[in-house]
A = this chain, B = another copy of it.
Amino acid sequence: MKQDKTYATGQNITADDVATAAGVSRWTVNRAFQKNASISAKSREKVMQAALALGYVPDMRASSLASSRSNLVALLVDDFSNPHKLVMMERLTRILRQNGWDTLLVNTLSRDDTDDALLNASQRRVDAVILIGIQFDDDVLKTARGAGQFRQLIIYARISQHPNTISIAVDDKHAMTEIAEYVLSRGYTRPMFLAGPLTYSAHLIRHETFMNFWKARTGCTPESIGVRAYDSQMAYDRVVKSLSGREPADFPDIIVCENDSLAIGATDALRHHFKLRVPEDIAITGFDDVPQAASPNYNLTTYRQPLTKMAEYLVEVLDNRASDSEDRLFNGHLVIRDSA
């Protein structure tokens, strides 16, 4: 049944073909496909009919080349193990597309690869590069080849100190304060903080905020442990290692996690390794509200970022409709479930 090896229908149809078919000039054809072009409704109609009949589709490579705007953004992602990335990618690509932007997905294999990934984006002359990852640090950006080719560099869901960069992120300080207030108000007294990689200052905010808050409000410095990646398995192992051999009295009564991946790993460790109950024996909080957090198995108390608002603001920035090019922090909200 499968015959044709290619899916193509012969040679490409250009605006010229449509022009002769519609009895207008080529420029009128292209105008018909532009948004705010000066063209009469009548001739646009003629053009569109001819285009449909011929199966003409404008070539954005050529239009981009001529207009020097590509309506393309590169999305650099370096951590596919965190399920929250999937949520972010869905939201971003959806809202970008609804606003006329296409997305080039670049899988940044490792930290050393960032440079290559940026080069990749440059070659396509994307209008902006969006970074959603954890390995991108300011040094990499500074020395990146081809970094001069794109107009905007946007750090999404993270803060960056790098100049010429816009951060669109949740206000970690505000968010973590809200979590800490909640933890305190629920009467927990021996919290432990489970942090992710503490390589860059931007990652420290949640950690610092919680520690400072707790110290200021109770006088005590909470215990704190960390892992090298936002990975459930690592969190599991780390919690096991940290709590093994302790007297029950020395256990924390709640583990405040930097994100849901860690929280899930911690929960599994408490339940399956230590045979403890969550939240009865030890409570847990997370951050992100990944889909799994809502499952009856975890019922995780967590913090939801306003991803839609953030994506919409991103579009504003891309369209140069944003009032300024400063960083923008958003507030999400605490999602209270059973885990704490």
Q: Tell me how far the C-beta of A313 lies from the nearest C-beta in chain B, rounded to whole angstroms.
A: 16
Is the C-beta of A97 less than 8 angstroms from some C-beta in chain B?
A: yes
Is the C-beta of A232 less than 8 angstroms from some C-beta in chain B?
A: yes
Tell me whether A103 and B102 are in contact in the complex, defined as CB-CB below 8 angstroms, given that A2-B326, A58-B123, A296-B236 are known contacts.
no
Is the C-beta of A41 less than 8 angstroms from some C-beta in chain B?
A: no
| A149-157, A196-204, A217-225: which lies at the interface | A149-157
What CA separation (Å) do A82 and B147 show in the bound complex?
Answer: 34
A-B pairs, 10 with minimum CB distance: A9-B148, A80-B90, A93-B107, A105-B105, A57-B146, A272-B296, A86-B86, A60-B123, A57-B122, A2-B163
Tell me whether A106 and B120 are in contact in the complex, defined as CB-CB below 8 angstroms, given that A57-B145, A57-B149, A80-B86 are known contacts.
no
Residues of A within 8 A of B (CB): 1-10, 12, 52, 55, 57-62, 64-65, 68, 70, 72, 75, 80-81, 83, 85-87, 89-90, 93-94, 97, 102-107, 109, 119-120, 122-125, 145-153, 161, 163-165, 232-233, 236, 264-265, 267-268, 271-273, 291-292, 294-297, 325-327
Which residue, A97, A236, A268, has most C-beta atoms of chain B within 10 A?
A: A97
Listed by A's residue number, 23 A-B pairs whose Cβ atoms lie within 8 Å are A1-B163, A4-B163, A6-B151, A7-B152, A8-B150, A8-B151, A57-B146, A59-B123, A61-B61, A61-B65, A61-B125, A75-B105, A83-B83, A85-B86, A86-B86, A89-B89, A89-B105, A93-B106, A102-B124, A265-B295, A272-B297, A273-B296, A292-B292
A61 in contact with B70 (CB, 8 Å): yes
Partner of A1, one of B87, B90, B120, B161: B161
Closest to A109 in B: B94
Tell me whether A148 and B7 are in contact in the complex, defined as CB-CB below 8 angstroms, given that A57-B119, A103-B104, A123-B57 are known contacts.
yes
A97 in contact with B107 (CB, 8 Å): yes
Closest to A5 in B: B325
What CA separation (Å) do A275 and B264 show in the bound complex?
Answer: 21
Tell me whether A55 and B146 are in contact in the complex, defined as CB-CB below 8 angstroms, given that A61-B65, A85-B86, A164-B2 are known contacts.
yes
B61 in contact with A124 (CB, 8 Å): yes
A152 in contact with B6 (CB, 8 Å): yes
Tell me whether A151 and B7 are in contact in the complex, defined as CB-CB below 8 angstroms, given that A163-B2, A297-B297 are known contacts.
yes
What CA separation (Å) do A265 and B85 show in the bound complex?
Answer: 21
Contacts of A107 in B (CB 8 A): 90, 93-94, 97, 103
Closest to A327 in B: B2
Contacts of A97 in B (CB 8 A): 106-107, 109, 120
B7 in contact with A147 (CB, 8 Å): yes
What CA separation (Å) do A75 and B89 show in the bound complex?
Answer: 13
Partner of A325, one of B2, B295, B327: B2
Q: Tell me how far the C-beta of A309 lies from the nearest C-beta in chain B, rounded to whole angstroms.
A: 18
What CA separation (Å) do A86 and B90 show in the bound complex?
Answer: 10
Q: Tell me how far the C-beta of A1 lies from the nearest C-beta in chain B, rounded to whole angstroms.
A: 6
Tell me whether A105 and B123 are in contact in the complex, defined as CB-CB below 8 angstroms, given that A145-B55, A151-B6 are known contacts.
no
What CA separation (Å) do A3 and B80 show in the bound complex?
Answer: 33
Contacts of A89 in B (CB 8 A): 80, 89, 105
* 13 extra interface residue pairs, beta carbon distance < 8 Å, beyond A12-B68, A236-B295: A1-B163, A2-B326, A2-B327, A3-B163, A6-B164, A60-B125, A80-B87, A83-B86, A97-B120, A102-B120, A105-B105, A272-B296, A273-B296
